[in-house]
Structure 1
Amino acid sequence: MNTHAPHIRPIIRQLDESTANRIAAGEVVERPASAVRELVENALDAGATRIDIAIDEGGKRLIRVSDDGCGMTAGDLPLAVSRHATSKIDGSDLLAIRSFGFRGEALASLGAVGRLTITSRADGDDAARIAVTAGRVDAVRPAAANRGTVVELRDLFFATPARLKFMRSERAETQAVADAVRRLVMAEPWVGFTLTAGGREIFRVDAEQGELFGALQTRLARVMGRDFIDNALPLDTERDGLTLTGFAALPTYSRGAAVAQHLYVNGRPVRDKLLIGALRAGYMDVLAQGRHPAAVLYLTCDPQLVDVNVHPAKAEVRFRDPQAARGLIVSALRHGLAQAGHRASSTVGDATLAAFRAEPAAAPRAYQMDYRPSGGAIRAALDLQAPDAQAGFAEPPSARFEPAPDTPPPDAPLGAARAQIHENYIIAQTADGLVIVDQHAAHERLVYERLKAQAEANGIARQALLIPQIVDLPDADCARILSIADELADLGLAIEPFGGNAVAVREVPAMLARLDAAALIRDILDDLADQGVSDRLRGRIDAVLSSMACHGSVRSGRRMGADEMNALLREMERTPKSGQCNHGRPTWVRLRLSDIERLFGRSG
């Protein structure tokens, strides 16, 4: 319903500066965590090596950020609290941005909605202080201070009471501040930080020493935990003017939500759909349903190749060549996971040890991997269609192993097979303990990787449709799907223009003969609109290959001889991603001898 009176001409007015500042503050300062992030970024831009943050009542009552950076002079302070005044850029090139801040709005916005005080001293100058209350700027006054800057913000949003109604509890706001600080901490290993809430120190890290990779590793161990680093793969690659470094966790070290994913572009933490999609694509077919990878990735490039001025909070970026950025992340992750070979996370072994320990009957067990039953349901359904489980390896060709020596080398990572229990679990002795292997899950991954390699080498077989499927689309969608026709053809889906706003599907992948091509094309178009790229068809093909691998793998309940078990272990050691099955579950767990001895009280 139109509530505007058509006969009344609206009057255009110039908003006063105070109102304009409060509106701008709504974009820049969403909550206390936003204010803390802006102030800490300013401190980092000032070259600080130590930053201390103190908050009270979740930041609603007080936010104080102190740094030992370059500081400001008395003459700088009035400009610092005015809008669109900044030392970060000169305005000649908005793509040559090498700092966190550049818009010159943060301090003015904070002063518009709260009580802001800035005390600062630069080398060779006296300290000075300026105060801003609800947009009213006081005169600069002399002060006593060391080199650096202290910014104190009290009573956030007191000048805009309506915003206070949207504030969450003190605990929630404190947690949001801590999360914002940790995201910045992980990209600045040579800077020390403290965070105090209500007079209680809740977070402290000192400046790290050493070269970049080592300093980052130490800093991430402090912030993300030692388990993350112990189970993470280092990444360091460069292509097309982009450099990717960081750490990506093994698939079996996964989380129930995307809380352990941290992405940075030129040191700036971002939550960008393109990069998040690339991270997800890099782990495609190695994660259990509902699980999320853990990773900290740093993408750096010439500022001219990325625009950071596309989001009020600078949380999203736009690359000049988005597919180059996505491709670098996906290929680096897939290569790193392949190089990890048969590795599985140490937390899987920890969970196994915990299962051996006596626990109160009512105590719930907590495991790193919280699997859903879908994989087992799939396996059970496929078992009904599979050949006789006792038919042996000679039945499906994919279930044959290469000949292996009777005695495995003494340093074989997965050791020598010693027994099979419950016709499904292989017990192998290693140099420092034992491993337990799920024979069906392990062989399923081996066969799956072979099938993928064969499909890659020989191409995806296509089946021509007797009657082409005609898909009507809007103009823009028709052009968009035809722009990737060559890529779809490589995956077995042949499409061509059909006149007007329609495309004709002439061929489909042979393994997807019952494919609903119209639904698939619309799903791909949704992916393209949301992420600029789609892995949907590749995912469906991989799902079929995965089912074929499950069908052709050695079954649970199949008795195996020592030579067969050892052949399986050796092939696992040679095969990428064999540490988890096609559904993301671990294929083996390790128990160290020292841990086993502790279970029996023999450790000392």
Structure 2
Amino acid sequence: MPICKLPPHLVNQIAAGEVVERPASVVKELLENSLDAGAGRIRIDVDEGGIRRMRISDDGCGIAAEQLALALDPHATSKIASLSDLEAVATLGFRGEALASIASVARLTLASRTPEAAEGSEVRAENGQLSSRQPRGMPPGTIVDVEDLFFNTPARRKFVRTERTEFGHIDDLVRRLALARPATAFELVHNGRAVRRLVAATDERSRQRRVGDVCGQAFVDQALYLENRHEGLALEGYIARPSFSRSQADLQFFFVNGRLVRDRLIAHAVRQAYQDVLFHGRHPAFVLHLTIDPARVDVNVHPQKTEVRFRDSRQVHGFLFSTLHRALAETRPTADRSAPAAAPAVSGATFRPAQGGLGLGVAESVARYAGLAGASAHAGTQDPEADTPPLGFAVAQIHGVFVLAENAAGLVIVDMHAAHERIVYERLKQSWSEQRVKAQHLLVPERVMVSEREALALEKRVGELNRLGFELELAGPDSVTIRAVPALLAGSDCIQLVRDVLADLVEMGRSERVAELIDDLLSTMACHGSVRANRRLNPDEMNALLRDMERTERSDQCNHGRPTWVQLDMKSLDQLFLRGQ
């Protein structure tokens, strides 16, 4: 066939294949335009899961009448004008292909009015044909009406799922954007019935309510609020306690400058922060917002803009990991979870529970707790309102497995082995850290083949690897000689260990492989070294265990992610026995 230029309408339909996958894709593009226009209120009307109709109304800045037709041209945008703008994109949309692509596969009506205009205007588009501009009475803002999606591309329409499925995708999208922009009110209507009404959230309490509306109140009840700033990076949001882990990654929302992203580097940092507090096969839940200079992140790496690339990925990874790791270290029984507790390891960081209840900071000193531990094992002799520790005082031991204690709130049940396992594990980690990593030289040096990128990573990070206990030398452009490995891992497969570490350095700019393996070994040692089930403890030993839990980081869960203690308050106990009913 001879070379020929494709007609504009066909070009737009091809482009629509990247932008418009299903009705939710259309809603996403239009909602992002509304948010970029500064909308304070957005209404989404959907009929038949969006297949028949989608109508987005906002109160944003609007489009001038003389520019309505231009807005439907491909790659026409008010959001970037030069390459420098593209390198520092601060808006959700910016390429200008969405409206033209949508108009090529649906019947579209675009109506808008700027605040200074006396009336609005509208244009219609169908099969690449644009109607003349008409006046329209409407308040300031923009209305985009999309009907009969894929009416002219039946092959694409065959891939559209059921009404329920397609609306589910739209609802998920609205939930995500509602978390991204809490100051904007959203209303979602399906087949004439209001499904979601989310009022604008302008203060911390209402923002927390927005998180509860989207993620469920159970998430908020079990969430820690965190806030940290460091070297131009700011992280704010909620992470669920490990005990609120999920069977799937369905409550994970991470926003970069207000844009929801799915990023391997971010996922890796979060997974590492939770690695020794989460039950095997479970997933953490979180709603986190990262703010960064737009020039330091590339958002133009995916057609649907769901992936990003950080200019300094290593710094971002370290910032995320250290902030989350420190916040999770404070998951321990304390007197007042409503009070913020600063974390000395992270400059300027604030961590606190999302709501009141048991808390993060132990006010009493170790010496004072030691005195309390020597008191009578039965807390009934104590004034419950005066100087009662967070976990109270031991009253009994059940079958050599559980410790029962009375605190100011009611009854505490402690899994004796799980709690002691965490205490021993944290002590082992601290001891290991203070003694630094010792190297173990191999009797016979090993040689391993590597890629050019891995060899370059080794050259750049050889000092770092030495501090981890490795002694590695480049033996050529594609091979490395292993002379020493960390002493604690001397019995492992050293060749595979070095391969994994170098692969991490290439992929992430850093490797936690050694730390993870050492933590696994220390966890095993802690499990075998902790108090076993069926061992009888006297009252002083039980109280000493409770006091250790209050001082130990991450003691809300054992090394395997299981909870170490539960609280039954007086209201819960009354309900068990139908008291007051």
Specify if TM > 0.5.
yes
Map residues 324-473 of structure 1 onto 2, 5 A cutoff.
Answer: 324-342=315-333, 405-407=373-375, 410-473=387-450
1:119 maps to 2:93: no
- Residue in structure 1 matched with residue 20 of structure 2 by the alignment: 29
- Residue in structure 2 matched with residue 271 of structure 1 by the alignment: 262
Q: What is the CA-CA distance between 1:526 and the residue it aligns to?
A: 4.3
Alignment partners' CA distance in 2, 1:558 and 1:452: 25
Aligned residue identity for 1:574: R
- Residue in structure 2 matched with residue 147 of structure 1 by the alignment: 140
Q: What is the CA-CA distance between 1:341 and the residue it aligns to?
A: 2.6
Question: What secondary structure is seen at the aligned counterpart in 2 of 1:332?
Answer: helix
Aligned residue identity for 1:21: N
Deviations 1:527-547 (A, max 9, x none): 445544432222111000100
Q: What is the CA-CA distance between 1:481 and the residue it aligns to?
A: 4.1
Compared CA separation, residues 109 and 528, structure 1 to 2 (3 A): farther
Compared CA separation, residues 74 and 318, structure 1 to 2 (3 A): same
Is the contact made by 2:186 and 2:197 (CA closer than 8 Å) also made in structure 1?
yes
Structure 1, unaligned stretches of length 5 or more? 1-9, 347-400
- Residue in structure 2 matched with residue 7 of structure 1 by the alignment: none
Aligned residue identity for 2:109: T
- Residue in structure 2 matched with residue 355 of structure 1 by the alignment: none
- Residue in structure 2 matched with residue 194 of structure 1 by the alignment: 187
Is the contact made by 2:388 and 2:408 (CA closer than 8 Å) also made in structure 1?
yes
- Residue in structure 2 matched with residue 542 of structure 1 by the alignment: 519
Report the RMSD for the aligned CA atoms in angstroms: 2.0
TM-score (ref. length: structure 2):
0.89
Alignment partners' CA distance in 2, 1:526 and 1:22: 41
- Residue in structure 2 matched with residue 62 of structure 1 by the alignment: 53
Q: What is the CA-CA distance between 1:473 and the residue it aligns to?
A: 1.6
Q: What is the CA-CA distance between 1:92 and the residue it aligns to?
A: 5.1
Q: What is the CA-CA distance between 1:100 and the residue it aligns to?
A: 1.3
Is the contact made by 1:410 and 1:431 (CA closer than 8 Å) also made in structure 2?
no
Alignment partners' CA distance in 2, 1:179 and 1:489: 47
Alignment partners' CA distance in 2, 1:182 and 1:581: 33
Q: What is the CA-CA distance between 1:24 and the residue it aligns to?
A: 1.2
Runs of 4+ deviating beyond 6 Å: 401-404
Which one of 291, 295, 300 corresponds to residue 282 of structure 2?
Answer: 291
Which one of 164, 169, 172 corresponds to residue 179 of structure 1?
Answer: 172
- Residue in structure 2 matched with residue 502 of structure 1 by the alignment: 479
Which one of 69, 72, 76 corresponds to residue 85 of structure 1?
Answer: 76
Compared CA separation, residues 446 and 275, structure 1 to 2 (3 A): same
Aligned residue identity for 1:76: Q
Deviations 1:334-363 (A, max 9, x none): 11112333379x9xxxxxxxxxxxxxxxxx
Deviations 1:424-443 (A, max 9, x none): 11001111211111111101
Is the contact made by 2:373 and 2:393 (CA closer than 8 Å) also made in structure 1?
no
Q: What is the CA-CA distance between 1:144 and the residue it aligns to?
A: 2.1
Is the contact made by 1:416 and 1:428 (CA closer than 8 Å) also made in structure 2?
yes
Deviations 1:493-519 (A, max 9, x none): 332212241111211222222211222
Q: What is the CA-CA distance between 1:174 and the residue it aligns to?
A: 1.1
- Residue in structure 2 matched with residue 306 of structure 1 by the alignment: 297
Compared CA separation, residues 118 and 29, structure 1 to 2 (3 A): same
Alignment partners' CA distance in 1, 2:19 and 2:155: 16
Alignment partners' CA distance in 1, 2:209 and 2:241: 18
- How many residues are paired up? 538
- Residue in structure 2 matched with residue 360 of structure 1 by the alignment: none
Q: What is the CA-CA distance between 1:155 and the residue it aligns to?
A: 1.4
Question: What secondary structure is seen at the aligned counterpart in 2 of 1:258?
Answer: coil
Q: What is the CA-CA distance between 1:225 and the residue it aligns to?
A: 1.6
Question: What secondary structure is seen at the aligned counterpart in 1 of 2:469?
Answer: coil
Is the contact made by 2:76 and 2:95 (CA closer than 8 Å) also made in structure 1?
yes
Alignment partners' CA distance in 2, 1:440 and 1:40: 52
Is the contact made by 1:64 and 1:151 (CA closer than 8 Å) also made in structure 2?
yes
Q: What is the CA-CA distance between 1:491 and the residue it aligns to?
A: 2.7
1:136 maps to 2:129: yes
- Residue in structure 1 matched with residue 9 of structure 2 by the alignment: 18
Question: What secondary structure is seen at the aligned counterpart in 1 of 2:239?
Answer: strand
- Residue in structure 1 matched with residue 362 of structure 2 by the alignment: none
Compared CA separation, residues 404 and 521, structure 1 to 2 (3 A): farther
Alignment partners' CA distance in 2, 1:239 and 1:246: 15
Question: What secondary structure is seen at the aligned counterpart in 2 of 1:128?
Answer: strand
Aligned residue identity for 2:558: C
Alignment partners' CA distance in 2, 1:284 and 1:295: 15
Compared CA separation, residues 481 and 179, structure 1 to 2 (3 A): farther
Is the contact made by 1:190 and 1:215 (CA closer than 8 Å) also made in structure 2?
no
Question: What secondary structure is seen at the aligned counterpart in 2 of 1:337?
Answer: helix
- Residue in structure 2 matched with residue 249 of structure 1 by the alignment: 240
Moved more, 322-331 or 534-543: 534-543
Question: What secondary structure is seen at the aligned counterpart in 1 of 2:453?
Answer: helix
Deviations 1:236-292 (A, max 9, x none): 111121111111111111111111110111111111111121111221211011111
Aligned residue identity for 1:183: R
Aligned residue identity for 1:570: R
Q: What is the CA-CA distance between 1:525 and the residue it aligns to?
A: 4.3
Which one of 95, 101, 124 corresponds to residue 103 of structure 1?
Answer: 95
- Residue in structure 1 matched with residue 562 of structure 2 by the alignment: 585
Aligned residue identity for 2:146: L
Question: Taking every aligned residue pair, what percent have the same amino acid on both sides?
Answer: 48
